[in-house]
Amino acid sequence: ERDLGFRFDVQPEQFLTAFGVAGSGEATGVARSLRAFWDNLAPIQIDWRKVVNSTYDRRDLKPNLWDQLVLVGFDQMRFMDADTASAAGDARNWSVRGGYLFPLGLDFDVLYSSGDRRTFTLLNERRVRDKEWPSFDVRWRTVPIPPAVDGLFRDITVTGGWSTRETKVSTTTGQDQGSEQTVRSLGLVFVLMNGFNLTYDVDNTAVERLDATGLSQSTRTSHSVRLSGFLPPPGFLSFVRNDLRLSFEYSNNGNSDCRALGGSGFGDIDPTFRDDCTTHTDQTTQNAALAIDTDFTGYSLGVQLQWVGRASGVGRQQSSNQFNFNIFGRFFFRASEGETQFTR
């Protein structure tokens, strides 16, 4: 087996300095504008890797020096003297990652990667090619707050991402396959002036697979909302001295799968063929929970109300609802042994 790879990191600021470009505080004219843009580039990372291997079942082989050092190509690794390898593999992967730092705390990261893997056995040859593009992430840590809601929000943060991966599998036995997966996400965090935090997250994953038997599609979508903070205890709870911790969560998760029989394994998909995809799974699950707790001397105590709803959109379209009421607590005690104290 031979495993060869390298990683190349580029630090933009040091890169220009190495070529004699003055720093941002010293540059003037065009060089100053170039520095202002270039210094906001995130480090660029390039990775490349190649792995080749082969396996022989015979024990009386006499590999030469080049074979022992694995300094031969993949085709030569499949054969040694008059013997054929029982298995051989060749994998190549490379990726490049970078980004840019915009004003107001906005970060943008982008990634491109591809891979090509070949596997050879006495019965079959298999090749897998995959590519991840587009793939990016966005983080905005300091979102400007409009004057109309300036008294409501203290801070707003936005995160998001998009990634698409395509995979193609080809074999000598005709078991060709193709798939495409797209993942999208968005997150919002609101810090209110009254101390409460409000978060919202949405994730969506869509997968499409095509082979000689047909087309299959699956979609996973989830939404979640969370509100948390502290409230002063109401007057009728005179025994409560500390603030109440309040937490409310709601989530909605949907799963959908469909299947269309018949296909060619590769190539463009006829829109009419995609429309014939028959849904066999359409499940929705909802969760809502409200929890209130507070601290007492040596322990904390709280209650939780929870609801779980499930519904199916296929077949008999059954649904169910489940309600839970929980009382929970946490107890604290201090133990000491010599001069060392422990808190539980």
pLDDT band at 122 (very low <50, low <70, confident <90, very high): confident
85-108: average pLDDT: 90
Residue 155, burial from CB neighbour count under 10 angstroms (0-12, 13-18, 19+): middle
CA distances from 202 to 81, 184, 214, 225, 250 (A): 58, 8, 30, 9, 12
pLDDT in tens, 20-48: 666 666 666 776 777 778 888 899 999 99
Whether the per-residue pLDDT at 342 is higher than 50: the answer is no
The pLDDT of 296-319, averaged and rounded, is 91
Which of 96-100, 216-220, 318-322, 335-339 comes out lowest in average pLDDT? 335-339
Angle at 142 between CA 138 and CA 144, to 5 degrees: 110
322 Cβ neighbours under 8 A, 6+ residues apart: 307, 308, 309
What is the spatial distance between Cα 205 and Cα 183, in angstroms, rounded to a whole number? 5
Across the chain, mean pLDDT equals: 85
Residue 111 has pLDDT above 50, yes or no: yes
